[in-house]
Structure 1
Amino acid sequence: MQRNKLRPPAVPLIVNDPYLSIWSMADTLTDQPTKHWTGKVQALSGLIAIDGQAYRFMGSKPNHFELNVPNMEQIDLQVLPTRTIYTFEAAGVRLELTFLTPLLPHNLELMSRPVSYLDFSLSSTDQQSHKVQLYLDISPALCVDHPMQEVVWGRHRIAGQEVLWMGSKDQAMLKRSGDDLRIEWGYLYATPLETAGTSSVFASSLAAQTHFAKTGDLLDQDDTDMPKQPGNRPGAPVAAWLIEVGNVSETPQAKAFLLAYDDYYSIEYFQRKLKPYWRKDGANAASLIRLAINDYKDIKETCEAYDEELTQDLKTAGGNVYVSLGSLAFRQCIAAHKLVVDGDGEALFFSKENYSNGCMGTVDITYPSSPFFLLFNPDLLKAQVTPILDYVRSGRWPFPFAPHDIGRYPIANGQFYGGGENSEIDQMPVEECGNMLILVAALYKAKSDQSFLERYWQILSNWADYLLAKGLDPENQLCTDDFAGHMAHNVNLSLKALLGIAAYAQLCDAIGETQKAQEIRAQVQHMTKQ
């Protein structure tokens, strides 16, 4: 497998969906604290003791940390479709740290699990045996939008082992929508996969890391003074673990750890709260964690094989640079969405515009990302266009053209962009009609689902009629390049309209309206000549 020499602007660590999304935005994993994609600190920290000497391998040191704890040397980084692999060395020990998130688009239940794994592989590089201990801590900032919100914490017994949890005190579930926001409800869970030789504590990051660096051990008492704010000094405690690795030789020793986040309900969809897809058959946090522990070996092997096959395909298509870019894009593309289940068991897949305005289900975002989902699983494209079509079919959408979006993440109660449902000002009529017709035609080619076409046929026909009337010489309006402002006579929109109408002709053939298909094609040819 080709090793990735690209320096990513941000390295994916725990990247599942728009809220559970932790990255390293630095040259090495120890240069800065880990962060949410918005740039807000959501700290994961890691230390290692080698023969009694502490080193840092993840995160930057806490404020007022006075001990001299050197960083391990980061000697390699690989970013693969489902895994990010760091390699460090210090004092005769090599540490290979793998962040694994099984975003496998062909397996919706597994892809939707809000679970990531940290896999530690340790070996000696100098033919000597070394005593090794690992320290890991997680900040409760992962559970709140901003560090002045109060958090609580505790322990559960799940799958025969102790699992630490943290969450916001107020649990403001689906109370706000926006762009530069982080989750403020639900609970984070974390545990080593094997608890033998492990211990845990809730304590301030400064105190816990200082004690480990001095003694190779954890503090012996939890902080029980809650709630607290992560941003206040000394702040809310981190959840910290000690993993006794023991004597490390040339034969690698492996340890694994999981982090999960249960948000209970993920999306509000026309005043109904929708569960994440993994909860569709009655699963809960305890069953999720039990599955994540029991399935780890199979998941790891599956992801390794998947990465091998996909990176080879990428290399064949475009060489090593394409491997690097494609591997980065793979997780970015999937994790900019949230997979939920509707009341009838149907999967719905909502995108989020990140650092644009937070719109969700945006049609001119679905359009350029559609080749990814058509290749890896067309059902995920169906799960993106269905909410838009159902929105129009409900009668709420008052205009003859397609909507731009279905809300502002995570609240999908109707279009947010431009004039919303109230005005034609700042809409994208030709853009979105063309996009939707092309998307549905591509989806039909992939799945041949005639019942899907029949369900929405009148809507699709209305959009085709709109393009026939308005698409040849578009009026003054926005297109997907809305940063350019309103434009009349936009030739790009004219082309989009022609392609949309031609796609509709294909759909007419698919539904058995061959005469209409011929007539539509003749109109497209006439319009093209103009």
Structure 2
Amino acid sequence: MLPSLLYSFILYFGLVSCGTPTPQSIPLAVRSPYFSAWLQAPANFVLNNTLGWAGFINVDGTSYVWMGEPNVPNTRFNKTVQQSVTITATQSTFVMTAGPVALTIIFLSPVEPTDLVNQSFPFAYMAMSAKATDGNSHKVRLYSDISGEWLSGNDDMIMNWTTSTTGDTIIHQSQLENQTALVDINDRIQQGSSYFASLNASGVTWQTGQDIVVRAQFINNSVLLNTEDNKFRDINDDWPVLAISHDLGTVSNTPQTAVIAIGLVRDPVIEYVTAGGGTQNRSLYFWTRFSSIEDAITTFLGDYDNALARATKFDAQVVTDAGNANLPPNYLSLVEWSIRQAFGGIEITVSKDSTGAYNSSDATAFLKEISSSGRTSTADVIFAAWPLFLYTNPAIGKALLLPLLEYQATGQYPNKWACHDLGPAYPQALGYPKGNDLFAPVEESADMLIMTLSYAQKSKDTSLIKTYYNLLQQWAQYLQENTLTPSSQYSADVFAGMLPNQTNLAMKGIIALQAMSEMATMISDSSLSSTYATTAKTYVGQWQTLATAADDLHLTYTYGNSSSWGLLYNLYADKLLQTNIIPGSIYDTQSSFYSESQNNNQFGIPLNTWNTSALTGWEIWMAAIVNDSSLQASLINDVYQYLTDGRSTAPFPDLYDTVSGDTAPLFYRNRPVVGGNLALLVLSQSSSSNPNTNSSSGTSSSPPSPTSTGGHSSSVETLASARTVSVVFALVIAVTVSALF
């Protein structure tokens, strides 16, 4: 076991059971597809890559470890005892004791969707607060470090590093000596620099060097030497670490706090195909405000108190909305556990103009299909995460749609249907000039029409419809000719394989035709609106006949196979758009059928007749539209139970077995699709009352206005709140999943 492992908090925090389960993995610093740190056992990135991150506290000369599994020869240190962990939409807060001192650690990954600069900045906070618990005063010093494992999944790579102590900050920077731009290996980028920084205040010291040497220096002497090891070497060669120590001085019952910023920055972040087959390198949007990374880090650190207040306000809004009395109690937890992960799967980018200046009006976002295929901006994955963007800021949804719309409007994609994604390997978005992307024509065409309309409805901005009207009509025409009896093709559930006449898929296409009718109405094209409305209405009747099983008790998975059935989660689009094109009898029939089917599986309803697999997002989508409150609660509780039963330590894995609760090994974890778990929130808020509604410009909107913002204190009493949870971990139990890629 490597000495720099960030290991299970169970091992060194002495967790107490507080009676409420947590997810299998707790987010620590989750900001982008390549900057994603989770507390696991041991802590991995996505595909079993370890990240080195250690922490100590020294109280009156006695050291305690509060993070990591450090093996430091010739030293003696104790272990902290954990009291609680609290998880909100933006923060993971750990409260522990180190002798007579209470230590509170807040891991804050800012979620600020209405400020594209803040949302795009790939940094997170770690705030460490200490206070005495025995009525006396104590000398307290804090320590933390990171290793080169943040840079690559290959520990044999050579790294180098520098430390800057000028100005208001101490900044450790490290990077691979030999980088490969715009290439990732096993979901790890081989480009960019990691940063570990703090304000350069009195009592702050630093050091770089071999892990056991630097850590022993702090454990034995309570201070670092402000010296740099300049022997650049492999990540695993004496394990170089970058460390910072804070002397809090004498601490009594008033908390004293130290803040560290940690991030991973690369530039460019995306290579995007442009008209005529050219390419464009795009940068993260935060560069529109800052001229240097040092300036950005200094501003970020100085803004911690405000950032915490904004995060607390956002968290309160989520609690108000998802904790609505009309929604099952466990639903709030699913929402809180989804938001950071979902936003961590996208990057908001900007281009440069002919002068080299950043063009702040050109904001586009790209999504990485993490741990499933690695594709760039897969339309059906954006669709699966879509409720998150409608709830938080539809402008980000627009930014995700724009690259897909822009690319296909140039005519470089030769097919008449919408493309599946923008490229097989993120972060390259180079398209498919041969049209040889994954064959899912009805799925992707319908997704694009549904998302474009829902964006316009939520934002009151019809610019996408007006600008890309011909392209939208092209996709609608394809659906008119092909959706009623779709040929053999993939749906969003690619692992289920290619099948013809899929009931759920055909229904989505019909709803999309009605969506095209609604969009035509928005721009006063009454003739086209009437045409597509008539077609959709006609198709619904024919589809219902084709899809109804012989016993009239359910709809089939594929036409003509009365013994088959599947989860009709695409009904959600009908409710989302309020098209009301699907008869109410379908909702009644399927709700009754699923109520019976659900009783046979401990963890939810399978996707179809032929296996017992399920996707958490589709379970929640069904919960959003069934007309049986008991069934709704069961679906939500089944997903909640799956996530908290301790069978997997992966970040929110979304593909699992409904009978055993086992998770797919290595795949379908940490994916942005969990944004779909906000489906009930979106339906519970009308577009007129949604506090996150965007302006017609599509670049930003007013932040949410919670009904009560509450206060935030770093005291142990406040952080150990009613939503305190305990950690339950277990070994990963593999389940065989075929046809994954």
Cα deviation, residue 396, structure 1? 1.2
**Contact persistence 1:97–1:118 (CA under 8 A):** yes
Task: Confirm whether residue 269 of structure 1 aligns to residue 272 of structure 2.
Answer: yes
CA distance in 2, matches of 1:354, 1:498: 30
How big is the alpha-carbon RMSD for the aligned residues of Structure 1 and Structure 2? 2.0
Measured against aligned partners, the alpha-carbon deviations of 1:441-472 in whole angstroms (never above 9, x if no partner) come to 11111223333212111111011110110000
CA distance in 2, matches of 1:390, 1:71: 55
CA distance in 2, matches of 1:409, 1:446: 29
**Contact persistence 1:193–1:258 (CA under 8 A):** no
Measured against aligned partners, the alpha-carbon deviations of 1:413-455 in whole angstroms (never above 9, x if no partner) come to 114xxxx83447x400111111111111111112233332121
Cα deviation, residue 520, structure 1? 1.4
The amino acid across from 1:200 in the alignment is: W
CA distance in 2, matches of 1:421, 1:358: 20
The amino acid across from 1:23 in the alignment is: W
User: Which residue of the other structure, out of 474, 487, 494, is the alignment partner of 1:482?
Assistant: 494
Aligned to 2:246: 243
Task: Confirm whether residue 414 of structure 1 aligns to residue 427 of structure 2.
Answer: no
The amino acid across from 1:421 in the alignment is: K
Cα deviation, residue 308, structure 1? 2.2
Aligned to 2:419: 403
Aligned to 1:336: 345
Q: What SS is found at the alignment partner of 1:388?
A: helix
User: Which residue of the other structure, out of 472, 475, 481, is the alignment partner of 1:469?
Assistant: 481
Cα deviation, residue 281, structure 1? 4.5
Task: Confirm whether residue 208 of structure 1 aligns to residue 195 of structure 2.
Answer: no
Aligned to 1:29: none
CA distance in 1, matches of 2:251, 2:324: 39
Cα deviation, residue 320, structure 1? 4.8
Aligned to 1:52: 61
Measured against aligned partners, the alpha-carbon deviations of 1:458-489 in whole angstroms (never above 9, x if no partner) come to 11101111011000001111111111111011
Q: CA, structure 1 residues 202+360, in 2 after alignment: closer, same or farther (shift >3 Å)?
A: same
CA distance in 2, matches of 1:65, 1:467: 68
Measured against aligned partners, the alpha-carbon deviations of 1:229-279 in whole angstroms (never above 9, x if no partner) come to 1123x13x2011221112221221112121233212111112321010101
Cα deviation, residue 374, structure 1? 1.0
**Structure 2 unmatched ranges of 5 or more:** 1-17, 274-278, 353-358, 543-741
Aligned to 1:230: 235
**Contact persistence 1:403–1:432 (CA under 8 A):** yes
Aligned to 1:374: 390
Aligned length: 511
Q: Which moved more, 1:464-473 or 1:265-274?
A: 265-274
Aligned to 1:356: 372
**Contact persistence 1:5–1:77 (CA under 8 A):** no
User: Which residue of the other structure, out of 4, 13, 19, is the alignment partner of 2:34?
Assistant: 19
Q: CA, structure 1 residues 224+401, in 2 after alignment: closer, same or farther (shift >3 Å)?
A: same
Aligned to 1:520: 532
TM-score if structure 2 supplies the norm length?
Answer: 0.66
CA distance in 2, matches of 1:214, 1:524: 74
Cα deviation, residue 380, structure 1? 0.5
Q: CA, structure 1 residues 219+35, in 2 after alignment: closer, same or farther (shift >3 Å)?
A: farther
Aligned to 1:293: 301
Aligned to 1:91: 99
The amino acid across from 1:381 in the alignment is: G
User: Which residue of the other structure, out of 143, 148, 153, is the alignment partner of 2:151?
Assistant: 143
Cα deviation, residue 210, structure 1? 2.2
Cα deviation, residue 154, structure 1? 1.0
Cα deviation, residue 177, structure 1? 4.4
Task: Confirm whether residue 187 of structure 1 aligns to residue 193 of structure 2.
Answer: yes
Q: What SS is found at the alignment partner of 1:406?
A: coil
CA distance in 2, matches of 1:473, 1:66: 73
Cα deviation, residue 349, structure 1? 1.2
Q: CA, structure 1 residues 322+291, in 2 after alignment: closer, same or farther (shift >3 Å)?
A: same
Q: What SS is found at the alignment partner of 1:259?
A: strand
Cα deviation, residue 111, structure 1? 0.9
**Contact persistence 2:260–2:301 (CA under 8 A):** no
Aligned to 1:197: 203
Task: Confirm whether residue 311 of structure 1 aligns to residue 319 of structure 2.
Answer: yes
> Which structure has more strand as a fraction of its residues?
1
Task: Confirm whether residue 324 of structure 1 aligns to residue 333 of structure 2.
Answer: yes
**Contact persistence 1:72–1:88 (CA under 8 A):** yes
Cα deviation, residue 284, structure 1? 2.2
CA distance in 2, matches of 1:131, 1:204: 27
CA distance in 2, matches of 1:323, 1:267: 34
CA distance in 2, matches of 1:195, 1:39: 37
CA distance in 2, matches of 1:324, 1:61: 32
CA distance in 2, matches of 1:6, 1:517: 50
Cα deviation, residue 296, structure 1? 2.2
Q: CA, structure 1 residues 284+129, in 2 after alignment: closer, same or farther (shift >3 Å)?
A: same
CA distance in 1, matches of 2:184, 2:234: 22
Higher relative contact order (CA 8 A, sep 6+): 2
Aligned to 1:70: 78
The amino acid across from 1:439 in the alignment is: M
Cα deviation, residue 47, structure 1? 0.6
Q: What SS is found at the alignment partner of 1:486?
A: coil
CA distance in 1, matches of 2:303, 2:517: 47
The amino acid across from 1:229 in the alignment is: D
User: Which residue of the other structure, out of 256, 262, 265, is the alignment partner of 1:259?
Assistant: 262
**Contact persistence 2:156–2:235 (CA under 8 A):** yes
